[in-house]
Amino acid sequence: MVLTIAELRRRALTFRPVLAEAKRRAAPADFGWYPYDSLANWEHLDQVLTGANREILELAGSAPLLDIGPADGATSFFLESLGREVCVVDNTETHHSGMQGFWKLHAALGSQIPAYHVDLDHDWTLPREDFGLALFLGVLYHLKNPFGAMERLAGHAKYCLLSTRVTQHAEPLAYLVGPGDACGADETNYWLFSESGLRRLCERAGWEILDWRVFPTEDPEDFRAFCLLRSTVLEDWLAVRGWYDREATGRWTARTFGAELPRPAGEAAGEAAELEMEFYVHPNSIAALGSLCLTASHAGEEFARVECREAGVHRLRGRVEGLTGARMTPIAFTLDKALPPAGLEARELGVYVTKLGWG
């Protein structure tokens, strides 16, 4: 079942009592829970997303979702209840409860969500390379280096739901909040952008703006911008499993790996389309393994195979049948052999992919 943003908003309402009961079981009444309703974001997003973007989880495909700055985890646990794989990152040193509330709810709900300490203001890495969608809600103005965080995130998440405080100033600017300012009572509040300044930040940091709306709050000086962004840095396709970090011209794979491609456009948008992948076989692979055989399959049916007996550039081509109306098409790739980890190289190495897409 495809969940539109309207349905997500409705289901978030029904999840509130589940969350309240979990809080009741998890901690005494005077525990310092996050004081704001994170699930209210779905009400705003219902007014932000338009057209095909209203099927927001379909955009992410089956790739994991990343929740940055989850508060006590209400949004993450809600998405997990829908069957989605979610990963959480936050800075435990600046989190309002040091993530205690998150872990209490995690135990009460029997959650499987992994959570990691990540300081977005310093050199940071994420627990995996690719995410279909990042939720970056109410965090940006708490960062000392918002440009760096947005730029790095564009290399890890295909889509991003972003919200942050903005001013109504017309110029593309950012204001550094001082400790005496009205919004500076929280010492982790740093940058306040004008709306045009936030737009420019997103675009220069590697994002295309798909949907955008600004909401007033009870404070006449406080406005909140909500937007859907698409990375202009990542490939059109999503690396789902079995891939390693991007390098200058491509990415190494493991022996088995998978990808999801957006539905073909134009003349190729029927029930079948040609897939093409260009990849490099390293001389060490041929020396150690003799040859490699790479196969590709869709919905459990093999549609392409290529034998590689020499090092160098190879191509795999095949016609994918049975395409549906789904936003993303999953493709599974399998090598019969791969270089095992050895010495300083801790990875299992398959092939080096430089191109993947519809022909």
pTM here is 0.85
CA distance 136 to 88: 11
pLDDT for 277: 97
Mean pLDDT score, 253-275: 83
Q: What is the mean pLDDT of the chain?
A: 92
- What domains, with CATH codes, occur in the chain? 5-231 (3.40.50.150), 238-358 (2.60.120)
Name the pLDDT band for 219 (thresholds 50, 70, 90).
confident
How much of the chain exceeds pLDDT 90, in percent?
75
Q: Which comes out higher in pLDDT, residue 326 or 76?
A: 76
CA distance 77 to 22: 11
pLDDT for 178: 77
Q: Which comes out higher in pLDDT, residue 295 or 174?
A: 295
On the question of pLDDT at 338 being above 70, the answer is yes
Q: What is the pLDDT of residues 15-34, one digit of tens each?
A: 999 999 999 999 998 999 99
Mean pLDDT score, 53-67: 94
Q: What is the pLDDT of residues 310-331, one digit of tens each?
A: 999 999 999 999 887 778 899 9
pLDDT for 270: 64
pLDDT for 149: 95
pLDDT for 179: 66
pLDDT for 113: 98
pLDDT for 124: 86
Tell the residue number behind the tokens 């069957």, with chain if given: 83
pLDDT for 187: 74
On the question of pLDDT at 182 being above 70, the answer is no
On the question of pLDDT at 232 being above 50, the answer is yes
Q: Which residue pairs, CB below 8 angstroms and at least 24 apart, start in 323-328?
A: 323/263, 323/264, 323/270, 323/271, 323/272, 323/273, 325/263, 326/58, 326/263, 327/52, 327/55, 327/58, 327/59, 327/61, 327/262, 327/263, 328/58, 328/61, 328/62, 328/238, 328/260, 328/261, 328/262, 328/263
Mean pLDDT score, 182-207: 85
Tell me how far apart the terminal alpha carbons of the chain are, to the nearest angstrom: 30
On the question of pLDDT at 1 being above 80, the answer is no
Name the pLDDT band for 350 (thresholds 50, 70, 90).
very high
* Nearest by Cα to 223 from 185, 203, 193, 186: 193
On the question of pLDDT at 184 being above 70, the answer is no
Mean pLDDT score, 334-343: 96
CA distance 241 to 91: 26
Q: What would the DSSP string read from start to end of 266-310?
A: GGG-SS-EEEEEEEEE-HHHHHHHS-EEEEEEETTEEEEEEEE-S
pLDDT for 267: 45
Spatial CB neighbours of 68, under 8 Å, sequence gap ≥ 6:
89, 90, 120, 134, 135, 136, 139, 153
